[in-house]
Amino acid sequence: MILFDRVLLGITALILVTLAGLLLSTVWGSALLVDWLRSANLTMDGSIVALILVLLAVYILVLITRFERKKFIVYPRELGEVKISTSCVESLIVEATEQIPGLAQVSASFTDVVNPKVTVRVVVHPDHNLSRLSEDLQESVRSYVEKTVGIVIQEVDVFVDGIMKDDGDDVAKLEDLI
């Protein structure tokens, strides 16, 4: 969800809480809402409130009906198009990293089909040179994707999220180690 969606949903929540508060205060005996509904300014004030509510309702309906489209790398061929989904490329990236010693867990994300960029998040085993491991990982991912998918990766970002503990499968986050 993008920042704009979050802001509008936050505004919607504030408006709904305000309206619920006014309604509850009226139920409990306050005349604030009733006085406002009887005021001479209701036409202007009410129109503005109604317009804001309608716009937010339409936006929420658009947000609900909007769906994420899978992104594909498309190769036009003589007999038709070949489409490789970005999730497939992500799986290939994880597969490529399995040959690199020192990695315990790997997740990958592939973005921007025009200027391909890969983000790899790893948890490593202790006693490995992180700089060298990261460089090997970047080169391995770049060459493997070029070889298997046929696209040139512009950028490979590596995030070391943690270090695997020696005593099992528990992951010690870097914040805990510092």
Q: Where are the domains of the chain?
A: 3-65, 84-177
| pTM for the model | 0.54
Give tens-digit pLDDT for 63-112: 888 766 667 777 788 888 888 888 888 888 888 888 888 888 888 888 77
Residue 146, pLDDT > 60, answer yes
Mean pLDDT value across residues 48-59: 87
Q: The tokens 């990766």 sit on which residue?
A: 153
C-alpha dist (Å) from residue 67 to 7, 63, 97: 19, 8, 31
CATH fold group of domain 84-177: Alpha-Beta Plaits (3.30.70)
Q: What is the overall mean pLDDT for the chain?
A: 82
